[in-house]
Structure 1
Amino acid sequence: MDIFEKCRSFNRPNILKEQGVYPYFRPISGSEGPLVTMEGKSVIMAGSNNYLDLTNHPKVKEAAIKAIEQYGTSCSGSRFLTGTIDLHNEMEQEIAGFMGKESALLFSTGFQTGQGVITPLVGKGDYIFSDKDNHASIVAGNMLATSKNAIIERYKHKDMNDLERRLSKISRDVGKLIVTDGVFSTDGDIAQLDIITSLAKEYNAKVIIDDAHSFGVIGSGGKGTGHYFGVQDDIDLVMCTFSKTLASIGGFVAGDESVINYLKHKSPALIYSASPSPGSVASALAALKILKQNPNLPSKVCANANKVRNGLRDLGFNVLEGQTAIVPIIIGEDEKTFAIWKMLYDEGIFVNAFVSPTTPPGMQMLRTSFMASHEEEHLDFIIDTFKKVGRKTDLI
């Protein structure tokens, strides 16, 4: 059999393009705050993870330019050898301090962070307890861990009884990691870290969270899910990406110095990858400093999301409950999701279409997300346009 045959027969994207409803890989030619230019027209961006709208902040851009002028465009090596610059060390110190941890370590991408942290920490016979809705970066780390004969237990999404049932079957003397998203990227719901950390203590497990969609959005000053629940000291490792709140690309993990030092010398994802580029680290560092100077910015993100969440729910849309920047609207069918996405886009709003197999049957959705810089006029227009489209399609 020709292994590429499945590629030649994969025609779903082409069909959607022919129908004019293909929602993916749409190029952006200009961006300024919540407005972007796509295909020659101005569109309200209601699908970005640029939560604090710092990607165009003058200080962030200036920091990136200065770093490139000083260090060049690349570090041309891994952190382990020739790829460490003083900006890496400065960012790690700033992150550790902000997160209330002893130490931190940078990775070249957020996706890489999950693989680079989980896999080195487990060995033969160790257990990983992973929420079934965890991000693909965690799933990839889990899969690599199985090559070391670690055992994966996937508990039902946010089901603490199922987690405890699985934990209770394993001896206290066996190595155990509980790994979860802080805020889940599809539904925008929040992991029950107060219960998770309590169970970890009871059953002698360690806790790793991925705060990609939490950092800069929830918790005191945007410090994430651990601070949201007041259990930051009970979380062993916090992973995160630069690509959302921190307006860049890269990732980090923060925790005890001994664990971070171990990862520095044992993580293949760190040792065998080129280090984060000077421009990306400098821009993330500048974004972090802006967040520290403006601790009320996260509340603006959530307030904007809540206005749309409540407005759409009042109109009769099936909106998932939440308290974060992510507002998912359930449509329920692939074709209808694509059609409504296109109607919104034609009206001047960009959202994200999530269909099967990404979502379970009947849970196909339009995922919206909001920034601190969305103005009342943008939010009102989004609500009014959803109302117009929803009635036209008998969704409400």
Structure 2
Amino acid sequence: MPTNKTFDYLNEELQRLQREGMYRIPAVWSGASGPWMETGGRRLLQLSSNNYLGFTGHPDIQAAAIEAIRQYGSGSGSVRTITGTLGIHDELERELADFKGTEAALVFQSGFTTNQGALASLLGPDELVISDELNHASIIDGIRLTKAERGIFAHKDMDQLERRLKENDGRKRAFIVTDGVFSMDGDIAPLPAIVELAEKYGAYVYVDDAHASGVLGRNGKGSTDHFNLHGRVHVQVGTLSKAVGVVGGYAAGADVLKRYLIHKARPFLFSTSHPPAVAAACLAAIRLLRHSQPLIDRLWNNASFFRSRLQEEGFDTGGSETPIVPVLIGKPDRTAEFSRLLMQEGVYAQGIVYPTVAMDKGRVRCIVTAAHTKDDLAFAVDKLVAVGKRTGVLQ
């Protein structure tokens, strides 16, 4: 018979995480996502949100969600393949495909389930998948669900990628999988070089644009558009929960890819479709993106200002070249302490530690948005400097 000691071993592991600076309980926030948010009665400058363009509070997106509830109700009532594909879902996918410049797009419940569903469907014993070592956890987990032969290449190391393709020598269908923007370091994949190697060796290219959708490319069309590689990237996946400001994921590409995933992707097949309000909000956001280049330009201007100021002060921001700006600290306990002291100073920037990053590569990951003002960012730099000097990160 179970007792209250049944899970003592779990508590022991949690205590270890606490000792090593890897334990955290999610903060509970009052009000909507924005540049300043409140938790525990304190108003903090928010530097950990993925709300790149401030779309979560956009009136047009909110109005679309409300109207969809009136028209369709609160839920879809079924999975997509039974009665859960409503007009608003179909409209969203058509608009998303047109925006991405692909034949078709399929929407999933989240970016994570998109990678799980797409990779598990496309990769089998006859395939070789070659993945960048710093790809997102959803890619890693998606690959683990397959029986494909697996290879990893060092981060953005094109020589190592080519060696792996040479070793395959056409023996198996090869898929090269990469993030468009790497979420922990804020750097951009060398997509043109990847595409050239793929074409040289007859491989498929699969790009996860979770942090590139709404950020890179004309009007936020993503990394394929950023590098003008339309028609040369076979699978584009991404989220609808970061710059788009709602929730969900998508896979965009050829029409045959969409039809295949409808029949094979288990998260799509066995999950109830998005509530109509979510689909309508995503649709409104995609339409807004078509006219949002000035907002995206402001995002990039803010990111450049913030990164430059941090580097001038002596912080190590790694290879950041996007609105993701990590401040490298080191070991988990030191990183957790830095983040805690920063919060005391009025800035919320989450510490990212092992196993998300290497044990000695803990960082406070700062994410700049278009909703931040220059005064907001200058305030953040001042507080980062104060904590940096207090902790010895800065001399």
Q: Which residue of 2 aligns with 1:78?
A: 79
Q: Which residue of 1 aligns with 2:380?
A: 382
CA contact (8 A) 1:23 1:338 kept: no
Where 1:187 maps in the other structure, the secondary structure is coil
CA contact (8 A) 2:109 2:248 kept: yes
The aligned amino acid for 1:272 is F
The aligned amino acid for 2:54 is D
Q: Which residue of 1 aligns with 2:30?
A: 29
CA contact (8 A) 2:332 2:359 kept: no
Q: Which residue of 2 aligns with 1:326?
A: 324
Q: Which residue of 2 aligns with 1:261?
A: 259
State the distance in 1 between where 2:195 and 2:216 align.
Answer: 18
| 1:141-156 → structure 2 map (5 Å cutoff) | 141-146=142-147, 150-156=148-154
1:96 matches 2:97: yes
CA contact (8 A) 2:300 2:323 kept: yes
Deviation for aligned residue 1:6: 3.6
Deviation for aligned residue 1:85: 0.4
Q: Structure 1: which 4+ aligned runs deviate by more than 3 Å?
A: 2-6, 12-17, 21-24
The aligned amino acid for 1:225 is S
TM-score by length of 2: 0.94
State the distance in 1 between where 2:23 and 2:339 align.
Answer: 9
From 281, 304, 307, give the equivalent of 2:305.
Answer: 307
Where 2:107 maps in the other structure, the secondary structure is strand
State the distance in 2 between where 1:157 and 1:151 align.
Answer: 19
Q: Any idea what the Cα deviations from partners look like across 1:339-387, whole Å, max 9, x if unmatched?
A: 1111111111111111122221321100000111100110110011111
Q: Which residue of 2 aligns with 1:105?
A: 106
1:10 matches 2:17: no
Structure 1 15/121 Cα, relative in aligned 2: closer, same or farther at 3 Å? Answer: closer
State the distance in 2 between where 1:12 and 1:160 align.
Answer: 41
Deviation for aligned residue 1:321: 2.6
When the two chains are superposed, the root-mean-square deviation of aligned CA atoms in Å is 1.9
Between stretches 26-35 and 97-106, larger displacement belongs to 26-35
State the distance in 1 between where 2:65 and 2:19 align.
Answer: 38
Structure 1 25/197 Cα, relative in aligned 2: closer, same or farther at 3 Å? Answer: same
State the distance in 2 between where 1:12 and 1:323 align.
Answer: 37
Structure 1 184/361 Cα, relative in aligned 2: closer, same or farther at 3 Å? Answer: same
The aligned amino acid for 2:13 is F
The aligned amino acid for 1:40 is G
CA contact (8 A) 1:334 1:356 kept: yes
Structure 1 83/32 Cα, relative in aligned 2: closer, same or farther at 3 Å? Answer: closer
Q: Any idea what the Cα deviations from partners look like across 1:177-223, whole Å, max 9, x if unmatched?
A: 11111001111111110000001101111111010000111112211
Is there any run of 5+ residues in structure 1 with no aligned partner, and where?
Answer: none
CA contact (8 A) 2:33 2:56 kept: no
State the distance in 2 between where 1:82 and 1:175 align.
Answer: 35
From 340, 346, 368, give the equivalent of 1:370.
Answer: 368
| 1:137-176 → structure 2 map (5 Å cutoff) | 137-146=138-147, 150-172=148-170, 174-176=172-174
Structure 1 384/8 Cα, relative in aligned 2: closer, same or farther at 3 Å? Answer: closer
State the distance in 2 between where 1:330 and 1:68 align.
Answer: 44
Where 1:324 maps in the other structure, the secondary structure is coil
Deviation for aligned residue 1:59: 1.1
Deviation for aligned residue 1:173: 5.2
State the distance in 1 between where 2:288 and 2:54 align.
Answer: 11
1:54 matches 2:52: no
Structure 1 324/3 Cα, relative in aligned 2: closer, same or farther at 3 Å? Answer: farther
Where 1:201 maps in the other structure, the secondary structure is helix
State the distance in 2 between where 1:33 and 1:273 align.
Answer: 30
State the distance in 2 between where 1:332 and 1:3 align.
Answer: 36
Deviation for aligned residue 1:4: 4.7
CA contact (8 A) 1:23 1:352 kept: no
State the distance in 2 between where 1:176 and 1:3 align.
Answer: 46
Q: Any idea what the Cα deviations from partners look like across 1:52-93, whole Å, max 9, x if unmatched?
A: 011011111111111122212211211111110011111111
State the distance in 2 between where 1:117 and 1:32 align.
Answer: 30
Q: How many residues align?
A: 390
The aligned amino acid for 2:57 is N
Where 1:209 maps in the other structure, the secondary structure is strand
CA contact (8 A) 1:77 1:274 kept: yes
The aligned amino acid for 1:197 is V
Identity, % of aligned pairs?
37
CA contact (8 A) 2:34 2:51 kept: no
State the distance in 1 between where 2:17 and 2:131 align.
Answer: 35
Where 2:13 maps in the other structure, the secondary structure is coil
| 1:347-358 → structure 2 map (5 Å cutoff) | 347-358=345-356
Deviation for aligned residue 1:309: 0.9
The aligned amino acid for 2:105 is A
State the distance in 2 between where 1:392 and 1:266 align.
Answer: 54
Q: Which residue of 2 aligns with 1:117?
A: 118
Between stretches 192-201 and 283-292, larger displacement belongs to 283-292
Is there any run of 5+ residues in structure 2 with no aligned partner, and where?
Answer: none
CA contact (8 A) 1:23 1:342 kept: no
Structure 1 157/4 Cα, relative in aligned 2: closer, same or farther at 3 Å? Answer: farther
State the distance in 1 between where 2:163 and 2:33 align.
Answer: 49
Between stretches 331-340 and 182-191, larger displacement belongs to 331-340
State the distance in 1 between where 2:9 and 2:173 align.
Answer: 40
Q: Which residue of 2 aligns with 1:287?
A: 285
Deviation for aligned residue 1:31: 2.8
Structure 1 373/270 Cα, relative in aligned 2: closer, same or farther at 3 Å? Answer: same
